[in-house]
Amino acid sequence: MNYYDFVMNIAHNLYIHVPFCMSKCNYCAFYSFACKNPDWQKYADDICKELKFWSEKIGKVKVPTIFFGGGTPSLMPVDVFECIMNCINQNFLVDESCEITLESNPGTLDNEKLSGFIANGVNRLSVGVQSLKDDELKFLGRKHDAKTAINLLNIAKGMGLRVSGDFIYGLPNQNVKDVIDLCNDINKLELSHVSMYELTIEENTPFGKMNLNMPDNDTMAQMYDAIPEHLLLPRYEVSNYAKLGEECRHNLNVWNGDAYIGIGRGAAGRVYYDNVWYEQRGNGELFEKITNETRSIEKILTGMRTMRGVKLSDDVKNVINFDWINSHKDLVEIDGEYLHTCHNGLLILDDIISDLIK
Ligand code: SF4
């Protein structure tokens, strides 16, 4: 790589997908497999092959964030993680302040293993807590109990990591008070970042085959509204809440429309190469030009999910329907150079987005 290559190429965030899980949860439609003894060496070799492929294609670009998502990345042995991190460091310019997130499940990490991940660069841990009630965890098909999850959160905080907890609400027969209680219990954990996902029933999952008595739409909407009223963290995206400055930088960059490379089967990305944007998957398995119009629409789709909104840059202005915005000021609002969704709009975000685009 010469200096010219370096200045021509923009920074790319990295998303590395780890598809293995201890078992499959009852609601999960993600690309992941229950696998007790994965062939980790083969996994690491495949990931490194992909990393080298992209580095050769787009250059030794800067990397501001790395996100190991899954699946259950915390199942990975530390030496496998180390091997992947070495490969990243050899092939890319990892920022000194790079945010390196590891998604984890309680029961897969002890102090020693977590120290190993930290020694190899992890500085942010996302923990799949999902519920603080053991009967709900069992119903969801989770393999851990609440105590194990709380222990892991405390250990990780004690080790100086930025820690996030994932939770699910809107379980069958849950009411608004249950969600308020959940928020109050989460507050006691003193987390700086929380993700709150509504339970959605997907086909081809165990829940999809059961006739579950789900809360109706009005109740779900009331639950959604109750969360920011009771959680002590501000909402910064449809499902994400964080102290100011503690937002997930990786996701913010991706939602912002920045470049990222998806590594691993099941991962996709958006790379910038030779002055053109491409949609990407695998080792060149998918490498398709994205038109300026598609890219602007993508920015709107992801930007409108954030409380800040989408920046009204010239390309975005070209595809946005200003007549619709002017006649729906109860749903969307222009604030300086950003367009964002108002409270009423958040509940019908998918409908708004299709109307917003010309
Ligand atoms: S741990 Fe996560 S990815 Fe794995 S089966 Fe459960 S929900 Fe799906």
Residue 104 Cβ inside 6 Å of ligand 1? The answer reads no
Q: Which atom of ligand 1 is nearest to the CA of 70?
A: 3
Question: Which stretches of the chain score pLDDT less than 50?
Answer: 1-7
CA of 109 relative to ligand 1 center, distance in Å: 16
**Residue of 22, 30, 265 best suited for mutating to test ligand 1, as the one with most atoms within 8 Å of CB:** 30
The domains of the chain, with CATH numbers, are 3-252 (3.20.20.70), 292-358 (1.10.10)
Q: Are 203 and 216 in contact (CB under 8 A)?
A: no
CA of 81 relative to ligand 1 center, distance in Å: 19
Question: In angstroms, rounded to a whole number, what is the distance separating the alpha carbons of residues 159 and 25?
Answer: 29
* One-letter amino acid for residue 110 of the chain: D
Question: In angstroms, rounded to a whole number, what is the distance separating the alpha carbons of residues 172 and 215?
Answer: 6
Mark out the alpha helices in 189-327 (DSSP H runs). 217-230, 249-255, 292-303, 314-319, 322-326
Q: Are 26 and 206 in contact (CB under 8 A)?
A: yes
CA of 230 relative to ligand 1 center, distance in Å: 27
**Residue of 72, 140, 200 best suited for mutating to test ligand 1, as the one with most atoms within 8 Å of CB:** 72
Residue 53 Cβ inside 6 Å of ligand 1? The answer reads no
CA of 32 relative to ligand 1 center, distance in Å: 7
Q: Whose CA is nearest to atom 5 of ligand 1?
A: 24
The per-residue pLDDT for range 323-355, each reduced to its tens digit, is 999 999 999 999 999 999 998 898 899 889 989
The per-residue pLDDT for range 52-67, each reduced to its tens digit, is 999 999 999 999 999 9
pLDDT of residue 8: 56
pLDDT of residue 36: 82
The per-residue pLDDT for range 115-171, each reduced to its tens digit, is 999 999 999 999 999 999 999 999 999 999 999 999 999 999 999 999 999 999 999
Two tokens at 120? 């190899």
Residue 28 Cβ inside 6 Å of ligand 1? The answer reads yes
Residue 143 Cβ inside 6 Å of ligand 1? The answer reads no
pLDDT of residue 1: 44
- Please give the model's pTM, rounded to 2 decimal places: 0.95
